[in-house]
């Protein structure tokens, strides 16, 4: 994969696909600008190279229709504030208006295009739309790891029409962190997998059995594994159609000598509510009609002790409903253990990145991925389409 460092961008029009899919409040104020900050090193590099910088991203799901609440103008303004330099903005991403702006773009100047998904061609990977994007630039750079598992016009289609294409610094960091944690880890390698559904992480779980020394399961997905072992999980969330699959994963782990850790106690509640009545019970003593919403303290401490022995840790998914204070303890204990470990630790994006932030460990782990979905695809052992087209 060619890096942007390997391409002469001096004075060139460089189209950079970024991921500025930022959280905003009802007043359209950006509530977290980490995805902008993750791209600053590349932007500053391109400025020093006197490139003419064209930034493109999506925001939300406008379904191919222009909608002001999904405009990237707030992102352009925030980037200008952070860089303390002018960031131009154009209210479309293709067409004469955009071409005119780019033709007048000076060396080292930045232009942000409007939301790519205001055009249906973006998500459909329409090649006519992709060519119009390609015609705007001399060089294409993919710096949007979080959407590189998608086959879309600005990720894969555009590469068919540009002469020069390469990876940005953030994409390179993401790929390298995965290789360091899974393909070339310091042993033992421990995967901590949580979240709500086995189905969303099934392929990743099966693939990780080929790499890991220990697999720690938490979150609601642990309920499905417990049920598969014959434990009455009462009203806990399970995926009944995956019980046999869970049994197979348990068997494969045993065959491959991978230690599979499941909860032995749970924090249970009489309903899914932040004000619910709760109690801690061993896994086979859940009261009738109650549900497991967090791993119990004994399980949390057992997991923490296991984590301390790791050489490398991959964490994807919280241990419980961490957004509710009553069910955040398990995630907090595990997060603190990962942060306090001497291991190289990689945190999957999405909910896990948010959990790391809420637990106060975001700056204490080795690397937090910017993309949950893309991270999972790599954990499944698959190539990301947005990376494959650059190879």
Catalytic residues: 35, 197, 350, 373
Q: How many CB atoms lie within 10 A of CB 309?
A: 12
Residue showing tokens 């950006």: 30
Look at residue 178 and give its three-state secondary structure.
Answer: helix
Name, in order, each residue with C-beta under 8 angstroms of 306's C-beta and a sequence gap of 6 or more.
Answer: 190, 214, 216, 261
Q: Give CA separation, 327 vs 233, 270, 295, 353, 372, in Å.
A: 17, 13, 8, 17, 22
In Å, the largest CA–CA distance within the chain is 70
Q: Please provide the DSSP assignment of 72-98 as one string.
A: SHHHHHHHHHHHTS-EEEES-SSSHHH
List the beta bridge partners of residue 315: 192, 347
What pairing do the DSSP bridges indicate for beta strands 164-167 and 139-142?
Answer: parallel
CA-nearest of 173, 245, 195 to 376 is 195
Q: How many CB atoms lie within 10 A of CB 342?
A: 9
Q: Please provide the DSSP assignment of 340-369 as one string.
A: HSSSEEEE-STHHHHHHHHTT-TTTSSEE-
Q: How many CB atoms lie within 10 A of CB 175?
A: 17
Residue 190's H or E segment, with its range, is strand 189-193
């Amino acid at each position: 994969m060619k890096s942007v460092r390997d391409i002469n961008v001096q004075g060139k029009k460089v189209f950079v696909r970024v991921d500025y899919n930022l959280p905003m409040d009802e007043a359209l104020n950006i509530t977290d600008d980490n995805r902008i900050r993750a791209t600053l090193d590349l932007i500053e590099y391109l400025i020093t190279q006197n490139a003419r910088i064209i930034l493109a991203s999506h925001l939300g799901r406008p379904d191919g229709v222009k909608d002001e609440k999904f405009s990237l103008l707030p992102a352009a303004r925030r980037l200008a504030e952070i860089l303390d330099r002018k960031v131009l903005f154009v209210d479309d991403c293709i067409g004469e208006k955009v071409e005119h702006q780019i033709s007048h773009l000076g060396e080292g100047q930045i232009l942000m295009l409007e939301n790519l998904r205001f055009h249906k061609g973006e998500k459909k990977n329409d090649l006519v739309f992709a060519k119009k994007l390609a015609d705007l630039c001399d060089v294409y750079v993919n710096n949007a790891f979080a959407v590189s598992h998608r086959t879309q016009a600005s990720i894969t289609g555009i590469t068919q029409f540009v002469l020069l294409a390469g990876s940005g610094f953030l994409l390179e960091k993401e790929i390298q962190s995965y290789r360091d944690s899974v393909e070339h880890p310091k042993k033992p390698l421990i995967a901590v997998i949580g979240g709500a559904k086995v189905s969303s992480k099934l392929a990743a779980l099966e693939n990780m059995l080929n790499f890991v020394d220990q697999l720690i399961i938490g979150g609601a997905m642990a309920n499905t594994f417990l049920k598969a072992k014959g434990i009455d999980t009462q009203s806990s969330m399970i995926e009944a159609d995956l019980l046999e699959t869970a049994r197979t994963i348990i068997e494969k782990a045993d065959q491959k000598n991978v230690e599979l850790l499941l909860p032995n106690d749970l924090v249970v509640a009489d309903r899914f509510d932040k004000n619910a009545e709760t109690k801690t019970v061993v896994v086979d003593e859940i009261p009738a009609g109650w549900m497991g919403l967090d791993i119990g303290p004994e399980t949390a401490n057992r997991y923490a002790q296991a984590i301390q022995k790791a050489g490398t840790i991959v964490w994807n998914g919280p241990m419980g409903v961490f957004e509710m204070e009553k069910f955040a303890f398990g995630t907090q204990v595990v997060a603190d253990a990962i942060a306090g470990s001497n291991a190289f630790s990689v945190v999957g994006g999405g909910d896990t990145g948010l959990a790391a932030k809420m637990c106060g460990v975001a700056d204490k782990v080795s690397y937090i991925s910017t993309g949950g979905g893309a991270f999972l695809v790599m954990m499944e052992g698959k190539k990301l389409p947005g990376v494959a087209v650059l190879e």
